[in-house]
Amino acid sequence: MRKPAKFTRLDAILLLLTALGALALGYRIKVGLHYQWNWSAIPQYLFHLDPATGRWAPNLLMQGLFTTIRLSAWATVLATVIGTLAAFFRISSSLFKRMLGRTFVELIRNTPPLVLIFIFYFFVSDQIMPILAIDQLVKTASPGTRQVLTWLLAPPEQLPAFLSATVTVAMFEAAYITEIVRAGIQSIDRGQFEAAAALGFSRTQQMWYVILPQALQRILPPLAGQFISTIKDSAIVSVISIQELTFQGMELMAATHLIFECWITITALYLILTLTLSLAVSRLEQLLRRGLT
Amino acid sequence: MPSDSGAILPPKVSAGSDFGRNRARADSRRVALDLTKFFLVVAAVAGLLAVGTERLGYHWQWYRMPRYLVRIGDGGWRPGPLLDGVLITFKISGLSLILCFSFGLVAALFRLSHSYLARLLARLYVELIRNTPLLVQIFFIYFVLGPVLGITRFTSAVLALSLFEGAYAAEIFRAGILSIPRGQWEAARSLGLSTYKCYRAVILPQAVRHVLPPLTSQAISLVKDSALVSTIAIYDLTMQGQAIIAETFLTFEVWFTVAAIYLIITVILSILVNVMENRLRVTG
């Protein structure tokens, strides 16, 4: 029951207020702060002409953006695996497994991500990474492998930190994905279980051949939405010096003092990224819905 | 529950029969076993963590923690830095909560209004906030709007948090208002009430029942998200934790304590949500 929009008295008041607000802001920036805008300095931090190769290459901000995307993508993949396992625990018939699953989800969802990141990161980077000896592995790798690693994950010198951050982000996104997967499986009509059981399928076969294919259609859209959330949440890892978009923004601000331009650009970059993905998700939803009918 | 639907359902038996009593006893034994297993696993994980980190050169010094919670001097006890931080966290969350409700309600009413510009502004606000990270918003408000508007660190933090949560609250309010049956609008209109009076006397009082539980969930998110204001050096619980670690290197003890405090706050709020959901359940 959407009412048609029209021009009302409220519009006039709002127009006046926004215009006045914009004027006041502009006045404050120009006269109060004597701020010198310098937008022409920003593009070189997106892409620059690499003097070594003579080709255009992504600079600080774009590198940060790519790191954000890579980090979020790997974290989502890892979180989906952990989350699916935890979801099976959550819906298990054994009370023991259900309690384990529930504890995992509640513990993570009730603590601030920032605190979790500090705990996990210190734990993973201080205690687990030395055991895995990623450093050694990367140092002894061939140039080709290093190239691939750089492209898929992060430059070799940043690899241990990148992996720690990915695991950290994945751990807390997993708690949210657990609930998505659980809801997806539980939304399947119980008759499907009974029909599969009547055909003599074992519990694993029921899940694998009957339930999961149906649940997947319902899980995919919220899962894609969670990927967008991960991109936004991944901004937090800038506090543990992972060189993603927010961190690069801080660096650039410190180096150039182009405070306003910097943060407007960073915000715009995030906005472009998430809005594009939202559009893709709604397309995906449409496709899936069409597939169902 | 689909969890047990794979198996053929057992025949329903009355609790009074012998069979039923045996079953009940077997069930309670299984529950006890599962509980024991659960606590064993939790203890094993905690033990592994303690022993494992000790072996890798971390010295657990829990006995040094209490003084950061409570200082006991000659004149009774005073709150330690961590409890000071909790107070700041509460203060920021409380102020932001009130502000976020106002932002949310105004944005929701704007989105439901006839006015073209009001809808556009509300839509822009919600989309802009929901599609950028909170951390970037905090930095934006602190570094950009802060100097422009001449507001302090603390105000920036409250403003950033309330703007952020307000966008989510707006959707909650909107859903709550839309869930009121159309007939209520028509009835109020036919009594000759103006739009303002419709909302004030008829729609909003009914919508409150629908929006209170999700708004309380939003308050939980707010407490959790308020941890991010530590990045602009506001001495809330998280920042106090960082400061203590910088001083004492009690990394794990401090972070576990901080996490536990947050957990206590959010779990209490969650229980409140459950109680409220049961109390306010709209019947019929």
Question: What's the pLDDT tens digit per position in A192-232?
Answer: 888 998 999 888 888 889 888 888 888 888 888 899 989 99
| For range B228-245, the mean pLDDT | 89
Runs of H (alpha helix) within chain A: 9-27, 43-46, 60-90, 95-109, 113-123, 129-132, 134-140, 143-152, 159-186, 190-198, 203-205, 212-233, 245-256, 259-292
| For range A95-113, the mean pLDDT | 88
Q: Is the pLDDT of residue B28 over 50?
A: yes
Question: Does the residue B109 lie in any domain?
Answer: yes
Which of B119, B148, B241 is nearest residue A33 as measured by Cβ atoms? B148
Q: Are residues B93 and B129 in the same domain?
A: yes
Question: Does the residue B74 lie in any domain?
Answer: no
Q: Are residues B51 and B131 in the same domain?
A: no
Calculate the CA B155 to chain-centre distance.
21
Q: Residue A114: is it exposed, middle or buried by C-beta count within 10 angstroms (0-12/13-18/19+)?
A: buried
For position A73, what pLDDT does the model report?
Answer: 92
Instruction: Using alpha carbons, select from A111, A64, A81, A106 the residue that is nearest to residue A231.
Output: A64
Contact call for B227 and A239, based on CB within 8 A:
no
Give the pLDDT band of residue B282 (cuts 50, 70, 90).
low
| For range A121-131, the mean pLDDT | 74
Q: Establish if A122 touches chain B: CB-CB under 8 angstroms.
A: yes
Q: How many domains in chain B? A: 2
Q: Are residues B164 and B227 in the same domain?
A: yes
Quickly count: other Cβ atoms within 10 Å of residue B75's Cβ: 6
For position B99, what pLDDT does the model report?
Answer: 93
For position B19, what pLDDT does the model report?
Answer: 60
Quickly count: other Cβ atoms within 10 Å of residue B100's Cβ: 26
Quickly count: other Cβ atoms within 10 Å of residue A95's Cβ: 17
Question: Does the residue B3 lie in any domain?
Answer: no
In chain A, the residue whose alpha carbon lies closest to the alpha carbon of B30 is A95
Rounded CA-CA distance A195/A201 in Å is 9
In chain B, the residue whose alpha carbon lies closest to the alpha carbon of A88 is B3
Q: Is the pLDDT of residue A145 over 80?
A: no
Q: Establish if B86 touches chain A: CB-CB under 8 angstroms.
A: no
Shortest alpha-carbon distance between residue A277 and chain B (Å): 10
Give the pLDDT band of residue B10 (cuts 50, 70, 90).
very low
Residues 128-187 of B with CB under 8 A from A: 128, 131-137, 139-140, 143-144, 147-150, 182
The residue type of B234 is I
Q: Establish if A29 touches chain B: CB-CB under 8 angstroms.
A: yes
Q: Are residues B115 and B237 in the same domain?
A: yes
Give the pLDDT band of residue A3 (cuts 50, 70, 90).
low
Q: Are residues B106 and B17 in the same domain?
A: no
Contact call for A6 and B224, based on CB within 8 A:
no
Domain CATH for B135: 1.10.3720.10
Q: Are residues B216 and B141 in the same domain?
A: yes
Q: Establish if A230 touches chain B: CB-CB under 8 angstroms.
A: no
Question: Does the residue B77 lie in any domain?
Answer: no
Question: Does the residue B273 lie in any domain?
Answer: yes
Q: Is the pLDDT of residue A241 over 90?
A: no
Whether the Cβ atoms of residue B269 and residue B221 lie closer than 8 Å to each other:
no
For position A255, what pLDDT does the model report?
Answer: 86
Give the pLDDT band of residue A291 (cuts 50, 70, 90).
confident
Rounded CA-CA distance B144/A228 in Å is 25
Higher pLDDT, B13 or B112: B112
Q: Are residues B27 and B163 in the same domain?
A: no
Question: What's the pLDDT tens digit per position in B174-225?
Answer: 998 888 888 888 888 888 888 888 888 888 888 888 888 888 888 888 998 9
Which of B7, B143, B242 is nearest residue A263 as measured by Cβ atoms? B143
Instruction: Using alpha carbons, select from B139, B138, B162, B151 the residue that is nearest to residue B222.
Output: B162
Tokens of B260: 């536990």
Q: What is the mean pLDDT of chain A?
A: 84
In chain B, the residue whose alpha carbon lies closest to the alpha carbon of A277 is B131
Q: Are residues B237 and B274 in the same domain?
A: yes
Give the pLDDT band of residue B7 (cuts 50, 70, 90).
very low
**Non-local CB neighbours of B282 within 8 Å, separated by 6+ positions:** B209, B210
Whether the Cβ atoms of residue A64 and residue B136 lie closer than 8 Å to each other:
no
Q: Is the pLDDT of residue B118 over 60?
A: yes
For position B5, what pLDDT does the model report?
Answer: 42
Q: Are residues B181 and B222 in the same domain?
A: yes
Domain ranges, ordered by start, for chain A = 43-285
For residue A6, what is the DSSP state?
Answer: B
The CATH homologous superfamily for domain A43-285 is: MetI-like (1.10.3720.10)
| Domain of residue B262, residue span | 83-279
| For range B36-56, the mean pLDDT | 82
Give the pLDDT band of residue B58 (cuts 50, 70, 90).
confident
